[in-house]
Structure 1
Amino acid sequence: MKISFAINAGSRSLKVFVYSVEDRKATPREIANAQIGGLSSPKTSLTYTRGNEGIYKSHQVKAEGQDDTFSIILDTLLGDEQLDEVGSKSDITITCHRIVHGGRYESAQIITKDAYHHIEALSDLALLHNGAALGIVESCIRKLPDTMNLACFDTQFHMSLPTSCLHISHQSREGAEERPKEIRLS
């Protein structure tokens, strides 16, 4: 059995969904999820669910940045004696990170040094997300050194759209519809 994390990091929250995968042909099964919300506010809180059971709901925590936030969630998961599937860090084989903008990448990427720097260079295109996501990638690399880190990009969806769907129309200041403008996200 393999354990994977699906991670969504934003400027004000971190969400981690934990999946168990029996084998390559099996559908991943969500076994837990944890979220810390209210980052950079006085009321930072942890919500944690194992299976269908809510363990913590709005449990106050002190988190100073993305690294602390990931540590709290990781410690919560590893410290839950009833979450048998996640007994140690070595049980976690893949962390899959939601990254808003992937630039030239058309599909998910294993996060190598080159991929990391490419994503980092695009941070201005997704100010509230790419930087926060890369902070969590760094935490995962340090805290889970044997785990593969994978980047999945929102822009992957846009790469699959036909050209005809890449046109938008907008109203001019006078209210007349102008000729559609092509947008390309890569």
Structure 2
Amino acid sequence: MIILFLNCGSSSVKYSVYDWDQKKSLCAGAVERIGIEGSFISQDRNGYPTFELKRNCKDHKDAINLVIETLTDKEHGVIENINVISAVGHRIVHGGKFAKSVIVDDKVVEELRNIADLAPLHNPAHIMGIEAARALLPNVTHVCVMDTAFHQTMPASSYMYALPRKWYTDYQIRRYGFHGSSVLYTSRRAAVLLGKNVDEVNSIVCHIGAGASVTAVKNGQCLDTSMGLTPLEGLVMGTRSGDIDPSICFHMMKKLNMSADEMYTILNKKSGMYALTGDRFADQRDVRKGAANGDELCKLALDVECYRVKKYIGAYMAALGRLDCIVFTAGVGERATNIREMILKGLENFGIMLDEERNNAADTNKAECCISADNSKVKIFVIPTDEEIVGVQDIVALLAGTYDVYTKFRYIFQEKDYRNKLRDAAFIEEVKKRPFLLKAAVNLPEQLKQELKN
């Protein structure tokens, strides 16, 4: 069974192709600059050089058509023809009150339109992608995978805002949360690493990238999460402010005669790390480089970011009552050794003990790692996220009629012997270059460990 997975932005279409029978990803790519001069497609396929092609795409239909052409190309493609595609998955950033993935029909599209203003930077583009893909592939099942679905188990005490009741009843103003597929995957992998059932584990998942969130998972279900109605709330991010006093907005709108749209742009695209570094760096790699070279604003930006994460960890520890593990994932969480150290420093009295050597060894996204000390009461894991496999299995189960809300559904990656073969192969190559990476890696078969040591 071949699954085409799409993630449509306002001027881009990211895609991947997954072979369910072989349990492996065939390729991943993106069409960039849709509707802008200089559109191009870039595709990565395991074992082959990156393929790039420039072609103007005036809209999402053009872009998805280019994706299909590339996937079926005799030289660069991965499938014989579009007829082998069993389903198309669509990642939806804001699924509103959808509690699970759903097969697309006109009613689903209409509901996404109704909540489009809750995620104006994302959902309108998703809808354009769905319509374009349905037009090009009308005989294929299309499925929406909701990034907010995992968080629908939050109690009202977590998701309600202290705002006029009619705002909730008439306009659906509440906390929704995001990065749901990532949290679902990593929290369940953490349970496997702990050797426990999912419903026995309390975890805090720190998904830290350009967008960032912290989620409290109690007995395998979302208890609370830092992002809110939109992805703006919570942590300091690349260009998003995260939590602020709302009065600042009204004060500065008056001072600068600023419109609501202008303020929205500032909070989402001109704040965060970018603002803290003096309107210079939104990418944390640049911020870390600046800090290492003595840039005081870059140092401050990292201090503010890490302190905010630490505060959420502390709050969620209190909310959970008992904490089994902390998980770091996503681009920064998986690769930034010093960021993990800054976040966890000072939490030793709570039984959170970082092993410096293991933490330094976990600087690759190619393997699951344990970076806590042996005497740490709370385990600390670095787990590479895999949102694709969550969506793919949802789609496969929907087609088979076996799917249900995540609290009643078991994923293949919850099995003890689940392996990501492509990631294992990449990790082996990493270890050959840097043997010290083995110090932190967990869940590796003994035979593989011995082979790598030899």
Q: Provide the rounded CA distance (Å) in 1 between the counterparts of 2:245 and 2:119.
A: 26
1:16-95 correspondence runs (5 A): 16-22=15-21, 28-57=23-52, 59-81=53-75, 83=77, 86-95=79-88
For the residue of structure 1 that corresponds to 2:68, the secondary structure is: helix
Q: Does 1:5 align with 2:64?
A: no
SS at match of 2:10: coil
User: How many pairs does the alignment contain?
Assistant: 168
Change (3 A) 1:52 1:161: farther
Structure 2: unaligned runs, 5 residues or longer: 159-222, 227-233, 235-242, 249-454
Distance in 2 separating the partners of 1:151 and 1:56: 28
Taking the aligned partners of 1:52 and 1:160, their CA distance within structure 2 comes to 41
Q: Structure 1 residue 146: deviation in Å?
A: 2.1
Higher relative contact order (CA 8 A, sep 6+): 1
CA gap 1:74/1:161 in 2 versus in 1, 3 angstroms: same
Q: Name the CA shift for 1:172/1:99 in 2 (closer, same or farther; >3 Å).
A: closer
| Alpha-carbon distance in 2 for matches of 1:155, 1:170 | 23
Q: In the aligned structure 2, how far is the partner of 1:106 from the partner of 1:4?
A: 22
Aligned to 1:115: 108
Deviation at 1:160, TM superposition (A): 3.7
Note if 1:100 corresponds to 2:99.
Answer: no
Cα distance in 2 for partners of 1:107, 1:47 equals 31
Distance 1:83 1:104, change over 3 A: same
User: 1: CA distance between counterparts of 2:56 and 2:122?
Assistant: 21
**1:149 corresponds to:** 142
Amino acid at match of 2:15: V
d(CA) in 1 for partners of 2:74 and 2:46? 12
SS at match of 2:110: helix
Q: Classify the secondary structure of the residue corresponding to 1:138.
A: helix
- Give the letter aligned to residue 165 of structure 1: D
Q: TM-score with structure 2 length normalisation?
A: 0.34
C-alpha spacing 1:11/1:147, structure 2 compared with 1 (3 Å): same
- C-alpha change, 1:128 and 1:52, in structure 2 (3 Å) is farther
> Against the structure 1 CA distance between its residues 87 and 123, is the aligned structure 2 distance closer, same or farther, given a 3 Å change threshold?
same
Per the TM alignment, residue 83 of structure 1 is displaced from its structure 2 partner at its CA by 4.1
Q: Unpaired runs of 5+ in structure 1?
A: 175-186
Residues 172/122 of structure 1: CA separation in 2 closer, same or farther (3 Å cut)? closer
Supply the distance in 2 between the matched residues of 1:13 and 1:68 (Cα, whole angstroms): 11
The answer as to whether partners of 2:89 and 2:143 remain within 8 angstroms in 1 is yes
- Residues 1:52 and 1:129: Cα distance change in structure 2 (over 3 Å): farther
Question: Is contact 2:14–2:31 with CA below 8 Å preserved after alignment?
Answer: yes
Contact 2:88–2:143 (CA under 8 A) maintained in structure 1? yes
What secondary structure sits across from 2:91 in the alignment?
Answer: strand
Higher strand share: 1
**Aligned letter for 1:146?**
N
Q: Is the 8 A contact 1:90 1:146 kept in 2?
A: no
CA distance in 2: counterparts of 1:60 and 1:81, whole angstroms: 16
What code does the residue aligned with 1:56 have? F
Q: Deviations over 1:48-84 (max 9, x none)?
A: 1222323423x32110011101111111111235645
Using the alignment, how far apart are the partners of 2:135 and 2:35 within structure 1?
23
Q: Deviations over 1:121-156 (max 9, x none)?
A: 111111222121112211222221221111011211
Q: Is the contact made by 1:93 and 1:146 (CA closer than 8 Å) also made in structure 2?
A: no
Q: Classify the secondary structure of the residue corresponding to 2:150.
A: helix
1:165 corresponds in structure 2 to: 224
Select the structure that is richer in helix: 2
TM-score by length of 1: 0.79
RMSD of aligned residue pairs (Cα, Å): 2.5
State the 1:32 CA deviation: 1.2
Q: CA deviation at 1:173?
A: 5.9
Higher radius of gyration, 1 or 2: 2
- Work out which of the residue numbers 112, 118, 133 in structure 2 matches 1:125: 118
